[in-house]
Amino acid sequence: MPGPLAGINVLDLTSVVSGPLATMFLADQGADVVKVEPLGGDITRRSRQSVSGSGEFSALFVSTNRGKRSLALDLKRPEGGTIMRKLIARADVLVQNFRPGTTRPPRSLPLRQ
């Protein structure tokens, strides 16, 4: 049975605990959540107790990122920016938890009506 948020596309730019937890709840309710991480991965992937043999996944990362798809982007490269713009254009919701003033919409990106 699909959840009440089925058909909603969420772009997750969060890290650590509070942001990933918020978007996890959206995924639990049926939203399609795509988590974008830096090339080295979210800082919580390798923090605290590892739950994988390779040490790639920590319990904290797994418990706050279930139900999401993820990809790593290098936003300093033009290709990474192009992919990010496509993801933003497709998203119904963008969630980020950067410090204030870190993100601002690009001037060239038309907002969806």
With beta carbons less than 8 A apart as the criterion, state whether 68 and 23 touch.
yes
Task: Measure the CA–CA gap between 19 and 22, rounded to whole angstroms.
Answer: 5
Q: How many residues does the chain have?
A: 113
pLDDT at res. 111: 54
pLDDT at res. 65: 92
Residue by residue, pLDDT tens for the chain (113 residues) are: 789 999 999 999 999 899 999 999 999 999 999 999 999 888 887 776 666 666 677 888 888 999 999 999 998 999 999 999 999 999 999 999 988 888 766 565 555 55
pLDDT at res. 45: 75
Is the pTM here over 0.85, yes or no?
Answer: no
Phi, psi (degrees; rounded to nearest 5) at 36: -105, 125
Task: Measure the CA–CA gap between 75 and 10, rounded to whole angstroms.
Answer: 19
